[in-house]
Amino acid sequence: MDISSRKREILKAIVEDYIETAEPVGSKSLVERRELGLSSATVRNEMADLESMGLLEQPHTSSGRIPSMKGYRMYVNELMENKNLTPQEMEPINHLLGLRIAELDTLLTRASKLLSELTNYTSIAITPATARVRFARFELFLSEPNSLVCVMVTDSGIIKSKLLRLSRPGDEASVRNLSAALNTVLSGHTDMTDRRLDEIACLAGEGSRYLPAVVSFLRECCDDLSEREVIISGTSRLLTHPEFRNADRAHELIEFLSERQEVSRLPAPAPDSIRVLIGPENAVSELRDSSVVIASVPLGDRLSGIIGVVGPTRMEYSKLISHLNYFTRQLGIRGDDNWKDKKT
């Protein structure tokens, strides 16, 4: 839409004022709070024009204006300024990723929780689904005499691990033999046929006594990776925003977020991009009064997860997008490092 620079400046100021205060913005208060260099009467006339263009709304006859969905869209696309995170804002993200968490679901769960804490919105993380799991590498070791740690790495860089309790103390040499047999027979394959399992048992010797528990773990991994896991953090944070003080409105959204399968159908952003869906732009009726901001996260070779937030349309888009940009960039870099470390 072609509007004057003055109208653009006023619209930007109104959106940012409303995001900050959650109160309709009047011309007098806008002039007092923002250095526009304009009279209250001039701002009032421009606000009336912006309303006629569908960029502002007037909730009540005597009240100020608030941004419309169309106004938010222009703000996000054309008016908002990019904000760089401060070192203090980067620190908790760097700390999380510095823990070098290898498992995909654990990494995204902690990242989702931290994103919710940093933004005060409800966060969503969705793991990628893998149609067929191709085994790349296995590691088995005893952490304690009766505890066997199993680690499985796929060719796309996903790592899954589990601690198995043994009925009697394990033998390190037998565990090493089974680990070597798994790598020899299964690496590069997508299935565990009876013939391959028999071959593993033969090569593993005494280590074959651990094979049933390990195979059960591997089948569990394949089942988990064939479905997208949805991680929701900070649902109760919705209630801290005035838009969701209406019990019916809040209940409808919270009910939707509890349906993991429905959430998993959110439209995925293009690789290395952030997608902003404002109000009615969301196809799901329960999200028509909310905004969803989601980003694609590169996680190993050829796989991408999703991380983002759900909140009111009166969202601090610029700062949120800065957080997501930093999160996804660092998650991708650290994720690749983790997978490479485990595969070498």
8 Å CB contact between 8 and 72: no
What pLDDT is attached to residue 342?
33
Assign a CATH topology to domain 5-79. Arc Repressor Mutant, subunit A (1.10.10)
Length of the chain (residues): 344
What pLDDT is attached to residue 341?
31
Tell me which CATH code domain 135-225 carries.
3.30.390
Task: Provide the pairing of β-strand 290-298 with 304-312.
Answer: antiparallel
Q: Which of 62, 61, 26, 70 is nearest to 46 (CA)?
A: 26
What pLDDT is attached to residue 338?
38
- The domain over range 87-129+228-343 is classified in CATH as 3.30.450.40: yes
8 Å CB contact between 327 and 112: no
Alpha-carbon radius of gyration of the chain: 26
What pLDDT is attached to residue 44?
92
Give residue limits of the domains in the chain. 5-79, 87-129+228-343, 135-225
Strand partners, 128: none
Strands across the sheet containing 147-154: 135-144, 147-154, 159-165
- Work out the angle at residue 310's Cα, subtended by the Cα atoms of residues 306 and 314, and round it to the nearest 5 degrees: 135
What pLDDT is attached to residue 101?
57
Distance CA 303, CA 50 (A): 43
DSSP reduced 3-state for 137: strand
Handedness of CA 318, 240, 110, 295 (dihedral sign): negative
**Looking at residue 318, what DSSP letter applies?**
H
Stretches where the chain sits below pLDDT 70 are 1, 61-62, 99-105, 130-131, 156, 299-303, 332-344
> What global pTM score does this model have?
0.74
**pLDDT tens digits, one per residue of 258-294:** 888 888 888 878 877 899 999 999 988 889 889 999 9
What pLDDT is attached to residue 340?
32
Give the 3-state secondary structure percentages of the chain, helix then strand then coil, rounded to 5: 55, 20, 30
Q: Which of 140, 76, 114 is nearest to 276 (CA)?
A: 76
- Tokens found for residue 265: 């159908």
